[in-house]
Homo-oligomer: A and B are copies of this chain.
């Protein structure tokens, strides 16, 4: 299996539009997500993306080597980290399973979390789902990272073509959101732990709780980081769709279509996550490609003028062609991310659905039947919030991506309607429009479902109906 590794962009040197020196391939190769790369690949990441990758790396979800650079970190698959990840998660899983078995063996009377056969069953399911998700996350991490490194080249090529720049403010905001979510989750986990430890203290089993559940709580962290990693990856791709739309709007402005208003003169620079493919390697590959792609294939579409205003450096017709190429490449990236995170995402969705059915039920029963355990009430409420939050962490970035995809459709429509019917432009736009009809911008993990807001709506609808039935029946059962 020959993996085309090269085709990087000399992002740093700000090549002129006339100067085509090898940094050409605008569109990455379609490669099988499942292929193993023979050589280590490298990629420069910065900002929030580097931050989440470092955290992921600590939890075994990103077995990467980080080398500090001026612009960020060069990352590459590291075998040592792979081994670390596998050992870490294996130990945690074994701990958790042993803890679970110990807790079940202790019997219904002494256990604080499993005070009946039913809660033994529910508790076991809960633990197994977390183990499964974390396992799917960590054991699949090397392959996922390898894929990530590959599609980051597509993403970096978009950055080069569009002339995008790094926005420190957005970066910091994203890091803040990330830290806030993690802090909230840590507080919740700590509180949950304390609650059961306090309960167990009455029967002097608090240390058993600590030893039996420590693995479980740490695996919860792995699951959470995995979700955040997916969310950041999806947000990073979405920022490129935004950039392509910005470039489309700029093209529209350039050909005097008065309908477009670029939201902000610096909008093309809002890149939440910095990615740059390294250019040193694979010069041979590139030269090979230069043979097949003559010089006109130079990828740069937009460059900042001296005044700070972005402007087109190619004719509109050519810009449209290249933007269509970039859009196709990004669609492909979306497809591959969906494949990479397929199994963990499906497990996460199912577990969220189950949790969203069970947790509010306990909460509402606690409110209606007995309202004196205020700590338990708060805890259950926080878990409800967490599960809803988890669902949104997964779905919202996908929703934003879909929205950008729809915006592209709107912009292409508008360009089609308004361009004069002569020249190459209409035919290029027609091609783009047909491409948009055939390729959808959506995450479909394992082809099971589309991650979007209607999925949230149907999950919430199912949960609501279910709760209403339960409460209605409960009432007549009293």
Contact = CB atoms under 8 A, between A and B. Distances in A.
Interface of A: 1-4, 7, 25, 27-32, 35, 116-118, 121, 256-261, 263-264, 289, 292-293, 321, 324-325, 328, 331-332, 335, 350, 353-354, 357-358, 361, 364, 367-369, 399, 402-403, 409-410, 412-414, 416-418, 421, 424, 426-428, 430-431, 433-439, 446-449, 452-454, 456-457, 460-462, 464-466, 468-477
Contact of A447 (B29, B350, B454, B477): B454
Contacts of A331: 410
A303 to B, nearest CB: 22
Nearest to A457: B448
9 contacts: A2-B261, A30-B260, A30-B261, A117-B369, A118-B471, A121-B471, A361-B472, A413-B434, A447-B453
Copies per complex of this chain: 4
Task: Give the interface SS of chain A, mostly helix, strand, loop or mixed.
Answer: helix
Contacts of A439: 409-410, 413
A417 B367 contact: no
Contact of A464 (B258, B350, B436, B477): B350
Q: Which of A332, A350, A418, A460 has the most CB of B within 10 A?
A: A418
Contact of A328 (B258, B413, B426): B413
Top 10 A-B pairs ranked by shortest CB distance?
A447-B453, A256-B292, A448-B457, A409-B438, A413-B435, A448-B453, A118-B475, A29-B261, A324-B417, A117-B368
Given A29-B258, A30-B410, A293-B258, A416 B434 contact: yes
Given A27-B414, A31-B261, A474-B476, 16 more contacts: A1-B263, A3-B261, A117-B368, A121-B364, A258-B293, A328-B410, A357-B465, A361-B472, A409-B438, A417-B435, A421-B428, A426-B427, A434-B434, A447-B452, A462-B465, A466-B469
Contact of A430 (B31, B289, B434, B466): B434
Most buried by B among A118, A258, A433, A452: A258
Nearest to A460: B350
Contacts of A118: 368, 471, 474-475
B453 A417 contact: no
A462 to B, nearest CB: 6
A239 to B, nearest CB: 17
A373 to B, nearest CB: 15
Contacts of A456: 448
Contacts of A426: 427, 431
B258 A289 contact: yes
Given A29-B259, A332-B410, A454-B449, A466 B466 contact: no
Most buried by B among A118, A331, A413, A468: A413
A418 B361 contact: no
A22 B447 CA distance: 43
Which of A7, A358, A447 gathers the greatest number of chain B CB atoms within 10 Å?
Answer: A447
A29 B417 contact: no
A435 B464 contact: no
A399 B436 CA distance: 23
A435 B466 CA distance: 41
A368 B27 contact: no
B475 A476 contact: no
Contacts of A461: 353, 462
Contacts of A477: 476
Nearest to A350: B464
A357 to B, nearest CB: 6
Contacts of A350: 460, 464
Contacts of A258: 7, 25, 27, 29, 289, 292-293
Contacts of A357: 465, 468
Given A29-B260, A437-B437, A469 B469 contact: yes
Nearest to A3: B261
A435 B416 contact: yes
Contacts of A447: 399, 402-403, 452-454
Contacts of A293: 256, 258
Contacts of A475: 116, 118
